[in-house]
């Protein structure tokens, strides 16, 4: 026991076979070291039970002098190794050292296998470019810890996908993942949505309701478009995070906050802080770990894999469209993708509906890809991009007769984003706005 502790193991002692099984039941255990001769359940029976129920757990058997036959039987039954008593410290150390090395290797292999499941990326995230590899490493790192995470990146770059991957790779994956779009909730409702309320807390509160922060349990609350959260609520959220307690509206009692927060925004946070849209203290709180999703135009080598993935994905049963022509792929590679992966996804989906097949042709692609607007050769890059964005939105609004929802869909951006951009670029004066449904 002491020896194992000295070797750096976290040791628990059991006085019998059944007791050992109870410990195994209560949490993952790497190694079991057991005697053969024990009252009740003997060591070989225990070994059999462990191999059946916890195949990942390695078993090392201790045998007294003269019981070598049972040691041999133990190996046959799946024991990792045996140690004869009285044992030399060095032998003991060697056995455990080898065992730990082997287990680490198995674990690494397992992880690699998981990652390579798609051979094209990580989990259901497509892309093998260097920038995405970096993201996969960050996902794994973030998944292992319970720190809050902030995901930055332009619209459509896959922020939500990454948030889900962090949750799915974490030890808390069996707990809920609760997404909240802060931009889509009415400001009057959002406090009660997040924090919950008690019956009678305000007019219309006919029933006590658990908020989403509590509903996420020990899992993940994904706060999308965090910059859209009203500033007062950002303060309340910060307090909840600091105190790890949630105060439902109208309640004096507090509920423990167990969830990990993953927040996302497609805005430039520094600007948002300057404008007063994001509280600096909340930003620092959430920014313990941060990931910045690369825009698609900075990882164009991933476009072919993404295109084929979407063709498979939307192919469905009939599989009328089997691929894409070389010319069409060239257009996709030459385009700038302001709406990032979402815009690409929409373009492929649309082409699959419109195209006659079997290959997606240039004529099946959205018209803005066919006549790509080129940025002026000179002048600061940032201005050119903004101008491109303004024009793309204007074009989409014109094409949809000012229907903001459909325009947003065409561009591959969210509803809140297009509202904000229309305001930012003052487009309301250029087109008559409206929307379906």
Ligand X SMILES: Nc1ncnc2c1ncn2[C@@H]1O[C@H](COP(=O)(O)OP(=O)(O)OP(=O)(O)O)[C@@H](O)[C@H]1O
Q: How many CA atoms lie within 13 A of 327 on its CB side?
A: 8
- What is the smallest separation between the CB atom of 156 and ligand X, expressed in angstroms? 5
- The smaller minimum CB distance to Mg ion, of residues 73 and 160, is found at 160
Q: Which is nearer to ligand X, 118 or 361 (CB)?
A: 118
Residue 282 binds: one of ligand X, Mg ion, none (C-beta under 5 to 8 A by kind):
none
**Residue 380 in tokens:** 């600061």
By C-beta, is 95 or 182 nearer to Mg ion? 182
Among ligand X, Mg ion, none, residue 355 binds (CB under 5-8 Å by kind): none
In sequence order, the 6+-apart residues with CB closer than 8 A to the CB of 323 are 308, 311, 358, 359, 360
Based on CB atoms, which residue is closest to ligand X, 58 or 150? Answer: 150
Q: Closer CB to ligand X, residue 158 or residue 211?
A: 158
- CA atoms of 149 and 232, how far apart (whole Å): 21
- Closest distance of CB 334 from Mg ion, Å: 26
Q: Which does 169 bind (CB under 5 to 8 A by kind): ligand X, Mg ion, none?
A: none
Q: Name the minimum Å distance from CB 406 to ligand X.
A: 16
The angle formed by the CA atoms of residues 157, 162 and 166, to the nearest 5 degrees, is 165
Residues 6 or more apart whose CB falls under 8 angstroms from that of 148 comprise 241, 260, 261, 262, 263, 285, 286, 288, 289
* Least Cβ distance, residue 157 to ligand X (angstroms): 4
Binding interface with ligand X (CB under 6 A): 125-127, 153, 155-161, 266, 306, 341-342, 345, 413-414
Tokens of 184: 């889509």
Footprint of Mg ion on 302-331 (CB under 5 A): none
Length in residues, the chain:
437
Nearest distance from residue 398's CB to ligand X, in Å?
22
CA distances from 369 to 3, 157, 336, 365 (A): 68, 18, 9, 7
- Contacting Mg ion (CB under 5 A), which of 81, 160, 258, 386? 160
Residue 67's binding partner out of ligand X, Mg ion, none, with CB under 5 to 8 Å set by partner kind: none
Could you say which of Mg ion, ligand X, none residue 343 binds, taking C-beta under 5 to 8 angstroms by partner kind? none
Q: Which residue is nearest to Mg ion (CB)?
A: 160
Listed in order, strand segments (DSSP E) in 333-392 are 359-360
CB of 426 to ligand X, least distance (A): 22
Instruction: Spell out the residues 6+ positions from residue 362 whose beta carbon is closer than 8 angstroms to its own.
Output: 325, 327, 328, 331, 370
With CB under 5 to 8 Å by kind, the binding choice for 341 among Mg ion, ligand X, none is ligand X
CA distance 149 to 224: 12
Contact track, Mg ion, 188-227, x by CB under 5 A: ------------------------------------x---
Minimum CB–partner distance for residue 181 and ligand X (Å): 8
Q: How far is the CB of 146 from Mg ion (least distance, A)?
A: 22
Rounded to the nearest 10 degrees, how much is the dihedral formed by the CA atoms of 313, 346, 362, 124?
A: -40
**Listed residue (125, 105, 106) closest to 115, CA to CA:** 125
Q: For residue 9, give Cα distances in angstroms to 6, 29, 30, 57, 92.
A: 7, 11, 10, 14, 13
Residue list 221-240, contact with Mg ion (CB under 5 A): 224
Binding site for Mg ion (CB under 5 A): 160, 224
């Amino acid at each position: 026991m002491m020896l194992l502790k000295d070797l750096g193991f976290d040791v628990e002692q059991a006085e019998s076979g059944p007791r050992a099984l109870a410990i195994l039941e209560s949490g993952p255990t790497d190694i079991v070291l057991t005697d053969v001769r024990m009252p009740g359940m003997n060591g070989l029976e225990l070994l059999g039970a462990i191999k059946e129920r916890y195949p990942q757990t390695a078993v090392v058997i201790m045998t007294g002098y003269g019981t070598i036959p049972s040691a041999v039987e133990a190996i046959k039954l799946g024991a990792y190794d045996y140690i004869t008593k009285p044992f030399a410290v060095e032998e003991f150390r060697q056995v455990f050292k080898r065992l730990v090395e082997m287990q680490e290797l198995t674990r690494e292999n397992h992880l690699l296998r998981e990652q390579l499941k798609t051979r094209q990326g990580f989990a259901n995230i497509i892309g093998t470019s260097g920038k995405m590899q970096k993201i996969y490493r960050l996902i794994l790192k973030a998944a292992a810890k319970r720190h809050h995470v902030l995901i930055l990146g332009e619209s459509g770059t896959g922020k939500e996908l990454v948030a889900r991957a962090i949750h799915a790779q974490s030890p808390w994956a069996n707990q809920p993942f609760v997404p909240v779009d802060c931009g889509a909730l009415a400001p009057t409702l959002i406090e009660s949505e997040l924090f919950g309320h008690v019956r009678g807390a305000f007019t219309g509160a006919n029933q006590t309701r658990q908020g989403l922060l509590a509903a996420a349990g020990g899992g993940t609350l994904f706060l999308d478009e965090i910059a859209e959260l009203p500033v007062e609520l950002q303060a309340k959220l910060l307090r909840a995070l600091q105190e790890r307690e949630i105060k439902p509206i109208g309640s004096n009692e507090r509920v423990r906050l167990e969830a990990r927060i993953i927040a996302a925004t497609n805005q430039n946070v520094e600007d948002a802080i300057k404008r007063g849209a994001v509280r600096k203290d909340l930003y620092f709180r959430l920014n313990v770990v941060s990931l910045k999703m690369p825009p698609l135009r900075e990882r164009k080598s991933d476009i072919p894999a993404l295109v084929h993935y979407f063709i498979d994905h939307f192919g469905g049963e009939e599989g009328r469209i089997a691929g894409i022509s070389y010319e069409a792929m060239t257009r996709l590679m030459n385009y700038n993708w302001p709406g990032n992966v979402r815009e690409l996804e929409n373009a492929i989906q649309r082409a699959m509906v419109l195209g006659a097949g079997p290959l997606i042709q240039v004529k099946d692609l959205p018209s803005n890809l066919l006549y790509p607007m080129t940025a002026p050769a000179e002048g600061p890059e940032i201005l050119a991009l903004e101008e491109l964005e303004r024009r793309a939105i204007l074009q989409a609004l014109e094409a949809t007769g000012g229907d903001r929802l459909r325009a947003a869909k065409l561009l591959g951006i969210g509803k809140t984003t297009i509202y904000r951009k229309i305001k930012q670029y003052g487009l309301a004066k250029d087109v008559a706005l409206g929307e379906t449904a």
